[in-house]
Amino acid sequence: MENRIFAPFNQNNNAMINETLSPTENITSEKSAWLRGIDFYQDEIKIMRKRLQNISANNTAREVKRKIEQFQNQFEVHEEQLRKLRIAVKNHAVHIAGDLTDHHGQLERNTVLEHDTMRDDYVNTEKLFNEMRHDFNRFLSKYL
């Protein structure tokens, strides 16, 4: 059952309605799942780096070295994206907690919309990471 609380909001002498929505456990569990996923992908990068070092030590071909450098660069890009996403998720968690406190256990519509955007960002990051990981695994199968 969804509760909706409407509170009048007056800004610049224009009466507006500020709607708050009841929180769902989904938002909290999703945020926790995202943080666990980010940890997992960061661990995956560490494992892939070790495998890349093994390939680098055993192969001196120019093409292989070029691909190794490409993957090293991709790992750095993904690490940075995961770092930024972790910060965004943690900041979002603070925003959620603030809403829950300020609105008696309710979330503002903007917070819910922010959460939907964060979900899209996470899903996109996950998709791009998995594409890179699949490319890397194909590379591994060829040179390991």
Give the E-state strand segments of 61-110 in sequence order.
107-108
pLDDT at 118 over 60: yes
pLDDT number for residue 2: 40
pLDDT number for residue 18: 46
pLDDT at 93 over 80: yes
User: CA-to-CA distance for 54 and 51, rounded, in angstroms?
Assistant: 5
**Domain 23-143, what architecture?**
Up-down Bundle (1.20)
Q: Please tell me the number of Cα atoms within 13 Å of 14 on its side-chain side.
A: 5
Q: How confident is the model at residue 24 (pLDDT cuts 50, 70, 90)?
A: low
- Residue type for position 11: Q
pLDDT number for residue 45: 98
Whole-prediction pTM: 0.79
